[in-house]
Amino acid sequence: MPAVSGGVGEDKIAPAEGDALLLVDMQKDFLPGGALAVAGGDEIIPVLNCYLARFTALGLPMIATRDWHPADHCSFTAQGGPWPVHCVAGSPGAGFAEGLRLPASARIVSKATGSGQEAYSGFPGPTSTVTCATRASSACSSAGWPPITACLYR
């Protein structure tokens, strides 16, 4: 699947069988106004919505990861971690971005859900593109989707 470069033209979005869409932590706390904001992070929402529409129309797998921390998570400064409180499970900041049209068919992967557990990946384990893709493919299989061969990363 070709990457989107430049504008948001839908003609540049051509997912095919074997593709899966992986959205990483598109949560309010990581967007402008959030507790741990990435400047301009909301600018990709229209692009993501184009991808979501295309993947939905083709019945292709979509996975959305999210930080989903307990209030005493080890990554928070009060517990000696590096980050301010963010993405506490069920809080407004943990919600997916305003305007993100995430379909009900998308599989949501919550991570770092235990007080002492940090997770920067929705598919934790040894770090490599191959192992991440394998774990993502397993997540698709467990959701009843066909095997995937490619992921799009944020």
Q: Contact residues for Zn ion (CB under 5 A)?
A: 67
Please state the closest distance from residue 66 (CB atom) to Zn ion, in A: 9
Please state the closest distance from residue 36 (CB atom) to Zn ion, in A: 7
Burial of 99 (0-12, 13-18, 19+ CB in 10 A): exposed
Residue nearest to Zn ion (CB): 67
Please state the closest distance from residue 132 (CB atom) to Zn ion, in A: 18
Please state the closest distance from residue 120 (CB atom) to Zn ion, in A: 8
Q: Which is nearer to Zn ion, 46 or 81 (CB)?
A: 81
Please state the closest distance from residue 44 (CB atom) to Zn ion, in A: 19
Q: Which is nearer to Zn ion, 19 or 67 (CB)?
A: 67
SS (H, E, C) the chain: CCCCCCCCCHHHCCCCCCEEEEEECCEHHHCCCCCCCCCCHHHHHHHHHHHHHHHHHHCCCEEEEEECECCCCCCEHHHCCCECCCCECCCHHHCECCCCCCCCCCEEEEECCCCCCCCCCCCCCCCCHHHHHHHHHHHHHHCCCCCCCEEECC
Q: Which is nearer to Zn ion, 45 or 111 (CB)?
A: 111
Q: Which is nearer to Zn ion, 42 or 67 (CB)?
A: 67
Q: Which is nearer to Zn ion, 13 or 35 (CB)?
A: 35
